[in-house]
Chain A
């Protein structure tokens, strides 16, 4: 399910699971704390290279983190 046309993501949950601050995640991704906040709140959809970097960091697939409401999970839900 998308809100306002934005892609939803689980970044905040994944970050919380590791007890990382937004700055900690930003530093590991090479972006600012504000950028992490913008992605988490759905104000900004990351580029494909950044999405791959995020997926790699958490050891997941991109579609396990980002959901545009058109995938398998969305259809099941």
Chain B
């Protein structure tokens, strides 16, 4: 009885209403991802341009003001972007992200100590912090794609 009553409510939705709701959800998600992409492109381009000016010598200092602005943008994008995206995410996508974060974290947990110990033993150069950071994001992106499209 209760199921039938609830069913009527759902059936009251016009034909294609579900598709429109799904499209709207995709649009909202697209706006968030697009905004984050633009922010990432601008800050990444600035970082690349600054490094190119110093022949990619990372020991050269950058402008403290610019660094503060970039750090602020990154923190805001990560914080608010994550919250906004998580609100648009369904449980399937959330599980994909959980698994991918586990793989990326696991990759870091395996690679860094191994690299550190091999460095201490004199086998390899000192661990490079930005290479480990990039490795984390590559592992995150690769595992996200794997779990989403397998």
A57 within 8 A of B: yes
Q: Which 6 A-B pairs have the closest CB atoms?
A: A27-B18, A27-B21, A27-B22, A24-B18, A31-B90, A35-B92
By secondary structure, the A interface counts as helix
How many chain A residues touch B (CB < 8 A): the figure is 27
B16 at the interface (CB under 8 A from A): yes
Complex Cα distance, B150 from A34, in Å, reads 12
Query: Which B residues have a C-beta under 8 Å from some C-beta of A?
Result: 3-4, 6-7, 10, 13, 16-23, 25-26, 90-93, 95, 148, 150
Task: Select from chain B the residue with minimum beta-carbon distance to A37.
Answer: B92
Q: A24 to B16, Cβ gap below 8 A?
A: yes
Interface of A toward B, CB cutoff 8 Å: 20-21, 23-28, 30-35, 38-39, 43-44, 46-47, 50, 55-60
